[in-house]
Structure 1
Amino acid sequence: MSAFAIEAALPADAAAIRALLVAAFPTPAEADLVAALRIGGHAVLELVARDGANNADGAILGHLLFTRLTVAPPNDRRRAVCLAPLAVAPGRQKAGIGTALVREGLARLEASEEDIVLVLGDPAFYGRFGFHPGRPERMLTPYPIPENQWLALGDRPLPLRLALSYPPPFAALG
């Protein structure tokens, strides 16, 4: 199996990322979501896993997007993002690509002084990165608990109650 490199997504990668998302998910909803989040200016960090180390022409094997969340109350200075979606090419799953994307993404977010990351996903997978299941009395989001998980970056404590709003394109997912 060839090596892969984790890199920032480039504008020229948009078509390949869309093709990957359409192949990795049962419907094009996630591909449409990524396009809408980019157009709306909601993207904070977008990474790809490229086939072949340091090969800008390598096929895109994985993709990860972090988008800005709104924290309430408005005077709260915490910076929050959500991890969605994470995709790995069919046939290349279970090879460490998704794990590498998440680890690199979290390291970059912490270095840029983000405070909170939310993800809606499998607690067994995301728990290994330090994500904790949300508690309905402390975390107010439109998504179900416990699949809605959080991770605090850095050393700032979370408030007793946290209300987070997702960018409008997420509403289209239903």
Structure 2
Amino acid sequence: MKTMKLKRPLTAMILLATAMVLQVSHAGESKQQEKNKSKDIKAWTKEKHQDEIKYEISFLAKKLLDMSGEETITVNQDPIRKPFLGICSEITPGGVQLTCVTPGHNAKAAGLQTGDMVVELNGVNLVSSKMDEIKEAYYHQLMKMKTGQTMLFKVYRGPEALEIPVTVGEINHPGYVMTIKRK
């Protein structure tokens, strides 16, 4: 039996976001009929989503077995606990543009928005014609962050300059051991 240690949790491979919004309203339908239809749609969507996840897990498990050449492998993922802001970004000559700000995390709660252009982080300038300099300065600041620390983002939102303090949160995933066997 072979044991594999993954650098990323398997949950990252199961990012199948199924966004399905169906609203059906016909004249003359009762509220109860609409509620029942809504429940049926939600149940179908949940079942469909679960089937897709099972398929993806099966596909990835087969790939892992094929790559290992073994009949059985064990995947051992240590717990992940690290500082987290809830932002995605893209380095540009004008600074670091926020391409996503995740709802429910500290950056969103502090007031950062998708599209904000970060020009300074903790007093470090992020505007340069040299993209490598911006990237190095930005990621150096992110690598130093600690849970509970406040990071000061100077951003431009359109023509408006804002200073937004963000308290660093934490992402916490439990560890697991998963054994995969061929049938």
Please classify the TM superposition score into its range, dividing by the shorter chain length: under 0.3
TM-score, normalization by structure 1: 0.24
Q: Tell me which of the two structures has the higher relative contact order, counting C-alpha pairs closer than 8 angstroms and 6 or more residues apart.
A: 2
Higher helix content, 1 or 2 = 2
* Structure possessing the higher radius of gyration over alpha carbons: 2
TM-score, normalization by structure 2: 0.23
